[in-house]
Structure 1
Amino acid sequence: MIAEFRLPDLGEGLPEAEIVQWHVAEGDTVTLNQTIAEVETAKAIVEIPSPYAGTVQGLHAAAGDVVEVGSPLVSFEVEGADAGTPAAPAPAAEGHAVEQVVGDSAEVPADDIAARATPNLVGYGAAPSSGSRPRRRARGGGTVTIDPDTAVREAAPHDVLRTGPIDLPLERPRSTPPVRKFAKDHGIDLVLVAAAHPGETVTRAHVEEYAARLATAPSAPVAAPTSPVPADDRVTRTPIRGVRKHTAAAMVQSAFTAPHATTFLTLDVTATTELLASLKSDRALDGHRIGLLAIVAKAVCLALGRTPALNAKWDEAAGEIVEHHYVNLGIAAATDRGLVVPVIPDADRLDLVDLADAIADLATTARAGRTAPAAMTGGTFSITNVGVFGVDAGTPILNPGEAGILAVGALRRTPWEHHGEIALRDVLTLSLSFDHRLVDGAEAARFLTDVAGVLREPGRAMLLR
């Protein structure tokens, strides 16, 4: 039986996802829960597990396609499966000659081979709700031989341009999203770069090496690259989608819905840095990275208990103020894909060591692009560490649905008044943005003073409850 797997809702009702990379090809045998693809939603890159054990009968989208939730993704041939009938096959384009691809049963229009080094599969048909479907690229073992007259550029270990027939792998090259973007911006096809590095993951260094070879290659009667550079190379156009699109929409919504106000406080945190130094030398804490951000997070959790208005939500639809009796702490993380804010649930219940471990795990996962959409929901308050970029202060925008966000500035060794004398001290600035519908200036000042009190004298944490 043929079982058709449709793209599921990946969290928060996100309507679509972009195919980043397939891990299977037509004809592959898969097991239950085997990863078959990576897709990028508006919030994260998500691995899609196989819901069946069987054989891949067809892929309904190619890497780079944007697929709506509920649209066909993969068809499986499963023994005894109670599956629906897949969409009818689509015929090859009229007037296109086709040739057999080595090692694959798919037919590829010859004109498409001339236009792209990676041919498009045909035969899967359109989604039931649509009159058209995305173009697909062939995957699987084998190669396609392209006549040099089609003018395909190839990266080879010793020569950049060949005059003889070229054998290109049909499998989509393995690479990361930043590398794919870098190659696209420079008009370079990763399939051609991968030809010089079979079996390897294509890196930025590989792309740069290929670009350098192209720049120094002798003139040859070849056509333009398969991914041409725009005529006006003074601008770069990047589609607005994924995390960047979601972040922009959320920030616009927040900025034009909640009346923002920001207050600042510059303080001496030498006592905290001395505490961190002592913790670092404590052998009992080996394996734990306790940093300044962990102590700030702990101070925030304590201070929110004394200023509940900053741990609340303005529910316009219900006409209510929702006060949370727990702290789901968002930690802003800058990634190659844009800003994400993963959440530490019930952060107020964690001790300093557990909080530090949670922050470290959160940052590692976010930078790898593996934060699940569900891990970025339900926050009640957020922290952004702008100090890591050398910035002293800022006016951060609230995450929608939250009443406050604290920016932590750069730690600087500064001349400062200390016990009636001038001394070099560790100083930083805290910037608190808050929703003025929920929080007035006095409450914001009290919260900021409580956080600062812990950072000035960490022992004060024993007094806050």
Structure 2
Amino acid sequence: MTADTSVRFREFKMPDVGEGLTEAEILSWYVKPGDTVTDGQVVCEVETAKAAVELPIPYDGVVHELRFGEGTTVDVGTSIITIDVAPGSGPAEEPAAAEPPAASVPTPTAPAEEAEEEKPKGRQPVLVGYGVAESSTKRRPRKQAAPAPEQSAAAAIQAEMNGHGAAPAAPEDRPRPLAKPPVRKLAKDLGIDLATVTPTGPDGIITREDVHAAAAPAPAPAAEAVPAPAPAPEAVPVTAGARETRVPIKGVRKATAAAMVGSAFTAPHVTEFVTVDVTRTMKLVEELKADKDMAGLRVNPLLLIAKALLVAIRRNPEVNAAWDEAAQEIVLKHYVNLGIAAATPRGLIVPNIKDAHDKTLPELASALGDLVATAREGKTTPAAMQGGTVTITNVGVFGVDTGTPILNPGESAILAVGAIKLQPWVHKGKIKPRQVTTLALSFDHRLVDGELGSKVLADIAAVLEQPKRLITWA
């Protein structure tokens, strides 16, 4: 009976949704015991030290048990939900739990009756955060021919547990290519067969760029629907007359704190400041808002500040680098993944725009709009926060004049943008009211000396003072 039970009940384990993370907190369950689920259906949302991620289930069946309650932090590799993949086959013994559940909601089962199911074929390695590749878990009629002696039931179950079938898949049963759900949707929208796309992502994963490359010169896809925001965490109750409230440090906030402490005490920070007249830039922003080529795009001062930073990096490429302590090398990067610091209910995150240096102004505006919208919805993926090279943090939105930003680990520079205010300014020999802001550039003094840092900051200021340099210097 043990073999049949293990085939009937499938355990879905907490995957590594953030490249090496060891735990994740279950934020919310979207299913309950007794609900019917299908392969690829999202069953819960979890939060890691990097982001909130929705987890799809890789099985068809009925939810048998939720092994942990909402708010529980679970180690990667621990079973979090049990699925009955053959609910119509009659009663069966409950599966043995991998470890004692912390907050489970069990569903009672009846006395045992043997159930039979054909072993799934062609299972593939787990795709980070998205379960396993498509496979068949549907019951089929009992075959008349007896199984070969060397392929016993125990061996079949062991092969399933190890993620391998008993025999290589036939061409018609070849597993689907590895790609995350948003990438599959993009390919569907563009009419691209993923089997024809050459993957460039880690472990053979197909990326959005791979799909776009396969679709070229097809028109850009329609914008993906933004999922409904996750429910905000409940506020910590405050007892009347209480003098203190303690809030657990976990998830994104915990990771941010550790990263900032590590950066502050590892990289020797230097910060330089400049105050600049951005009146012409503000006028250009208003003109761009009325430009038909920018219709529907997010146009604001941050867009032109980002473009100014990219121009400054092009003129001073040595600032776009990283320090490799293990190899004792400076890594010069020939691409710019532009990070934008975003405040969210879960803490500060810094997603980045991949290959921002190659984007036109409309493309950069579109990418900024998508990045901000996704961050506000709390749906930023771990991949979107990896690989940044330089960052912009806009403290001006809070009415702050400037600050001394701390570098993101692995990056060489970060630009803080202060509030843009109407101030008296000497313009053409006369004191006039002008739009003025203060910029602060922090950089890693191991990589960037004072001369290079000053050149970069001066170039950013020059572009914002005379935005026509976006054309002449580009």
TM-score (norm 2): 0.69
Equivalent residues in 2 for 1:344-383, closer than 5 Å? 344-383=353-392
* 2:248 aligned residue (236, 239, 242): 239
Does the C-alpha gap of structure 1 residues 17 and 250 become closer, same or farther in structure 2, counting only changes over 3 Å? same
Task: Tell me which residue corresponds to 1:181.
Answer: 234
Q: Which amino acid aligns with 2:385?
A: M
Task: Tell me which residue corresponds to 2:458.
Answer: 449
Equivalent residues in 2 for 1:193-232, closer than 5 Å? 229=239
Does the C-alpha gap of structure 1 residues 30 and 427 become closer, same or farther in structure 2, counting only changes over 3 Å? same
Task: Tell me which residue corresponds to 1:4.
Answer: 11
Q: Does 1:264 align with 2:278?
A: no
Q: Which amino acid aligns with 1:242?
A: G
* 1:439 aligned residue (433, 448, 455): 448
2:260 touches 2:406 (CA, 8 Å); kept in 1?
yes
Question: Structure 1: how far apart are the matches of 2:297 and 2:274?
Answer: 29
Q: Does 1:424 align with 2:433?
A: yes
Equivalent residues in 2 for 1:73-112, closer than 5 Å? 73-79=80-86, 88=96
Task: Tell me which residue corresponds to 1:194.
Answer: none
| SS at 1:134 equivalent | coil
Provide, for residues 414-440 of structure 1, a one-character-per-residue CA deviation record: whole Å limited to 9, x for no partner.
Answer: 110101111111100100000000000
| SS at 2:287 equivalent | helix
Q: Does 1:58 align with 2:110?
A: no
Task: Tell me which residue corresponds to 2:200.
Answer: none
Question: Structure 2: how far apart are the matches of 1:353 and 1:387?
Answer: 23
Task: Tell me which residue corresponds to 1:39.
Answer: 46
1:309 touches 1:403 (CA, 8 Å); kept in 2?
no
Note the residue ranges of structure 1 that are not aligned, 5 or more in a row: 89-124, 141-173, 187-228
* 2:343 aligned residue (327, 330, 334): 334
Provide, for residues 362-390 of structure 1, a one-character-per-residue CA deviation record: whole Å limited to 9, x for no partner.
Answer: 11111111101111000000000000000
State the 1:457 CA deviation. 0.8
Task: Tell me which residue corresponds to 2:103.
Answer: 135
Task: Tell me which residue corresponds to 2:74.
Answer: 67
| SS at 1:26 equivalent | coil
Task: Tell me which residue corresponds to 1:402.
Answer: 411
Task: Tell me which residue corresponds to 1:147.
Answer: none
State the 1:464 CA deviation. 2.1
Percent sequence identity over matched residues?
A: 54
Question: Structure 2: how far apart are the matches of 1:307 and 1:87?
Answer: 62
| SS at 1:76 equivalent | strand
Runs of at least 4 residues off by over 3 Å: 136-140, 174-178
Task: Tell me which residue corresponds to 1:253.
Answer: 262
Task: Tell me which residue corresponds to 2:133.
Answer: none
Question: Structure 1: how far apart are the matches of 2:437 and 2:66?
Answer: 53
How big is the alpha-carbon RMSD for the aligned residues of Structure 1 and Structure 2? 2.1
Question: Structure 2: how far apart are the matches of 1:86 and 1:340?
Answer: 42
Question: Structure 2: how far apart are the matches of 1:176 and 1:361?
Answer: 18
Does the C-alpha gap of structure 1 residues 86 and 338 become closer, same or farther in structure 2, counting only changes over 3 Å? farther
TM-score (norm 1): 0.71
Does the C-alpha gap of structure 1 residues 325 and 86 become closer, same or farther in structure 2, counting only changes over 3 Å? farther
Aligned length: 343
Task: Tell me which residue corresponds to 1:216.
Answer: none
Does the C-alpha gap of structure 1 residues 239 and 138 become closer, same or farther in structure 2, counting only changes over 3 Å? farther
State the 1:232 CA deviation. 6.4
Question: Structure 1: how far apart are the matches of 2:257 and 2:370?
Answer: 25
1:411 touches 1:426 (CA, 8 Å); kept in 2?
yes
| SS at 1:339 equivalent | strand
